[in-house]
Amino acid sequence: MKNTENKLNKIIGPIKLPLEIDNHVDYHSLYYFEYNNERWACVCYGDLSINKPIPLRIESACFFGHVFHSRQCDCGYQLMEAFSRIRKEKFGLVIYGIDQDARGLGIEAHYKIYDYRQNLNLDTEEVFEKLHAKLDNRNYNAVAAILKFININKIKLLSNNPSRISFLKSNGFEVVREEIEAPLDKFNMATMMLEKEDLAYQWSFLTHAYWLAPIQESVQKNINKYAGRIVESNKKIIAEWIGDEWSVANNLCPQLKDELKENSYVVYLTDYPRLDELKIYAAHHISLIVAPFSCFPEYLVQEAKKYGIKLQDWARENKYKEQRNQWSLIKMANQSHIYERGDTSLTINV
């Protein structure tokens, strides 16, 4: 096998522990390994000597997802789903990269990533430039050594990460893949879409870029044109509008049916929404609004929070090629909001 010249430096185990999976408690065998100053753990279940592809989940540590059950990522879902599938098949293993938090950067860097993103309004590229790091800093040499130690060669890999698949195959393992994909929601959507766009993860869904690009193209040559669309479950457009008034919500939402279900719908806009439009979207169970900018004004962010709406900036490859100035709220009165764009002002009666 390639890449396994350096052997495991430390092996402790197996130890037996009763783990609760899907409300059932079963004994599992656990190991602790060290490999080139990296710490790894392994959980084994059932008979792994069987002549079948062994279900395997390679799990990178995620302090937020695994310990605090953060919904910002799908890490917690994937780990528990892997254990659940292994239990149902009655055999399999999870190899856990203890030091692979933040794709190999560690827990401190994981905090910094969120800090730079949320408090400095940096986009993904700027965040990792500030960290002087690649988007993915992991390697899986230890995994090959652990599998060799346990004497496993045929693998059913529970993964959507193509780099893990290619690594195992290049090291002589027989690999078949089984997808393991968390349901998209307003909390994990941005993280999972970044993984698809930047790391080529094999997710089944389309990214924000796909839904934004056509409406951007329809307005990019005219600053006084506005467009929006509403997408259901990341699969189909259920409302769409383009026009020459900055009143997208009032033209989009009347197209919706009464039986809309909460959390399944995403609004894509070519421009910032008006402050008063957030209430309209909330009344139609819209909880996520996406626009192709690097950040939203703070007054919009705070108002959106009142209605349980997440505003998702998505400049990235969707950043306008030519500057597209936005209306900025400069004054609020009881019955009106006054906006300004360049030398032009606009009064919206509310």
Break the chain into its structural domains and give their ranges: 10-100+138-183, 208-349
Judge contact between 315 and 294, C-beta under 8 A. yes
Q: Which pLDDT band, with edges at 50, 70 and 90, does 5 fall under?
A: very low
Residues 6 or more apart from 125 whose CB is under 8 A from it? none
Which residue is associated with the tokens 């656990």? Answer: 30
* CATH number of this structure's domain 10-100+138-183: 3.40.50.10990
The answer to whether residue 59 scores a pLDDT higher than 50 is: yes
pLDDT score of 2 more than 50: no
Could you say which of 57, 87, 103, 138 is catalytic? 138
Q: Is 85 a catalytic residue?
A: no
Query: 6 pLDDT exceeds 70?
Result: no
pTM given for the model: 0.86
pLDDT of residue 262: 59
Fold of 208-349: Cytidine Deaminase; domain 2 (3.40.140)
Segment 185-205, tens digit of pLDDT: 989 999 999 999 999 999 999
Q: pLDDT-based confidence at 306, cuts 50/70/90?
A: very high
pLDDT tens string 207-223: 999 999 999 999 999 99
Per the CB < 8 A criterion, the answer to whether 316 and 124 are in contact is yes
Paired tokens of 80: 């528990």
By C-alpha distance, which of 198, 195, 228 is closest to 214? 228
Q: Which residues pair with 226 in a beta bridge?
A: 243
Whether 274 is catalytic is: no
For residues 243 and 225, the answer to whether their CB atoms sit within 8 Å is yes
The active-site residue, picked from 136, 271, 274, 316, is 136
The mean pLDDT value of the chain amounts to: 94
d(CA 302, CA 262): 21
Size of the chain, expressed as the number of residues it contains: 350
User: pLDDT category, 258, cuts 50, 70, 90?
Assistant: low
pLDDT at 1 exceeding the cut of 70: no
In 3-state terms, what secondary structure has residue 11?
strand
Average pLDDT over residues 155-175: 97
R_g (Cα) of the chain, nearest Å: 24
Q: pLDDT for 114-144, tens place per residue?
A: 999 888 888 788 899 999 999 999 999 999 9
Mean pLDDT within 265-289? 95
Residue 263's pLDDT is what? Answer: 60
The one-letter code for the residue type at 157 is L
Q: What percent of the chain has pLDDT over 90?
A: 86
What whole-number distance in Å separates Cα of residue 350 and Cα of residue 335?
A: 5
